[in-house]
Structure 1
Amino acid sequence: MQMLLVEDDMDLAELIIEYLNAEAIECDIAYNGSMALNLLEENAYQVIVSDVMMPKMDGFTLLENLRSMHIQTPCLMLTARNTLEDKLIGFEKGADDYLVKPFELAELTARIKVLAHRTQPPSSKIKISDLVLDLRERQAYRAGQLLALSAAEWQLLEILVKHSPAVVSKIDIEDHIWGGEAPSKDALKMLIYRLRKVVDSPEVSPLITTVRGRGVMIAAPEDQAQC
């Protein structure tokens, strides 16, 4: 994790950085708001921790500048003034969290990790054995090879993978693909057959299984044995 610490107290800054480094958090330091803006123009950070009272540019002014520049990096404000008015001003200007001095370094670290976790986008890729589904790009790979899928085949694979290793009922599949009943009696049966031909070629272990009376599932071989 990479974060920016904005703190004019050099002794406190050194103490914080030493503790965070031990927690595998890399930290750049700025001793005032102006220096912080220069660093933010050149680097991307997951979290910003900033003191409020600083020379040249205080923390609130820094925060205003960040948000006006459309930098939405989560920002935790450090302050010695434990008043509701100060906190409300900070939140109004775009602060995400507040910590009053003096504080425990363990609590600061925990709050930083929570803020960093909020900024992590959910993964767009789902992996089952050697099958990889890229939801953002709407592409699927088996053993590293791109699979050629029709729109309906993609929708079927998508619902199976998202529910893996659970069995998906045929009613749920039809509703997902066609918004209700299949257009013909054998439409789903033929679609499953075509998807199997693409995903479960003779060169690889089969992942798609029809569970009699329940529906269809896709799972790694070791998970199939449990159903």
Structure 2
Amino acid sequence: MMKILLLEDDTVLSDILIDFLQESHSVTHTYSMQEALRLSEDNSYDLYIFDINVVDGDGLTLLRELRSFYDETPTIFITAFHDTKYLTKAFASGGNDFIRKPFELEELSARIENIKKHFGLNQTLIIGEEMELNTQTHILKTSKHLFHLTAKESELLLYLYKHKNRVVSTDEILQNLWKYDDLPSSDAVRTLIKELRKYVGKEHIINIRGEGYRFE
């Protein structure tokens, strides 16, 4: 079950989407861009579904602000616009998919499944040769061993995997794995990285001195 934040100010469409999405997922809905920003700061979501135009702003501006704070949550935009310039703006702001109104619910479901596949949101995630992580039980299986990770170790491994082949800074990890009021010191990240490297191998989590960590 994914946690979805839905920003949609069309009352009829939002009711339809909530009923549909809640069959398989946990859905938080708001009509307001400012409320969506507050919710995203206070909670962790697996997927954003944002309307481009809402009563107090737009989803594009919202996502640009979230991306500026290293929030890489996959995002699907929905819009009534059919002009391709909005498609370009959606992807330029950091969006991952785009769906035009009116649309069939089956199309939205297919797009969500595609997001899950590409961002490791399925329960079992293949993270390397003969290595898989169950994101619900936090069990990491390798060819020779089975490790019971802590929830935070599992969360960090998943985050590094989602951003593989780029350097992720300690500050980025802190901002995305902990709530603002509960931020620990950078030592907490180093400790988690040290433990994860025991499980997956030092060759998979590279320490880039002075910059951060890269998953390969």
Residue 79 of structure 1 corresponds to: 79
Distance 1:49 1:76 in 2: 5
**1:105 aligned residue:** 105
Q: Figure out how many residues of one structure are paired with residues of the other and give that number.
A: 140
Structure 1 position 6 matched with structure 2 position 7: yes
Q: Equivalent residue of 1:138, what SS?
A: helix
CA–CA distance in structure 2, aligned partners of residues 40 and 117 of structure 1: 22
**Residue range with higher mean Cα deviation, 117-126 or 85-94:** 117-126
Matched letter for residue 44 of structure 2: A
Q: Report the secondary structure of 2:54's partner residue.
A: coil
What TM-score, normalized to structure 1? 0.56
**AA of the residue aligned to 1:10:** T
Cα 1:139–1:69 shift into 2, 3 Å: closer
Give the deviation of 1:138 after TM superposition.
2.6
Q: CA deviation at 1:118?
A: 2.6
**Which letter maps to 1:84?**
T
**What residue number does 2:19 align with?**
18
Is 1:57 aligned to residue 57 of structure 2? yes
What is the letter of the counterpart of residue 52 of structure 2?
V
Match of 2:206 in 1: none
Q: Deviations over 1:29-88 (max 9, x none)?
A: 011211100100111111100001111121111111111121110110001111111111
| Structure whose alpha-carbon radius of gyration is higher | 1
Aligned to 2:146: 132
Letter in 1 for 2:20: Y
Q: Distance in 2 between matches of 1:45 and 1:56?
A: 22
Amino acid in structure 2 at the alignment position of 1:138: K
Q: CA deviation at 1:21?
A: 1.5
What SS is found at the alignment partner of 2:53? Answer: coil
Cα RMSD for the two superposed structures: 2.6
In structure 2, what residue type is equivalent to 1:91? F
The share of aligned pairs that are identical, in percent, is 30
For structure 1, the residue ranges without an aligned partner over 5 or more in a row are 141-153, 155-227
1:113 Cα deviation from its structure 2 partner: 2.4
Contact 1:74-1:116 within 8 A present in 2 as well: no
Distance 1:116 1:33 in 2: 24
Shift of 1:106: 1.1
Moved over 4 A (4+): none
Distance in 2 of aligned mates of 1:70 and 1:88: 21
The amino acid of 2:45's aligned partner reads Y
Change (3 A) 1:136 1:82: same
Q: Alpha carbons of 1:139 and 1:83: their partners in 2 closer, same or farther (altered >3 Å)? A: closer
Identify if the C-alpha distance between structure 1 residues 138 and 27 changes in structure 2 by more than 3 Å, giving closer, same or farther. Answer: same
Q: CA deviation at 1:119?
A: 2.6
Q: Confirm or deny: 8 A CA contact 1:32 1:58 kept in the other structure.
A: no
Cα drift, residue 133 of structure 1: 5.6
* Alpha-carbon distance change, 100 to 137 in structure 1, aligned in 2, over 3 angstroms: same
Letter in 2 for 1:126: K
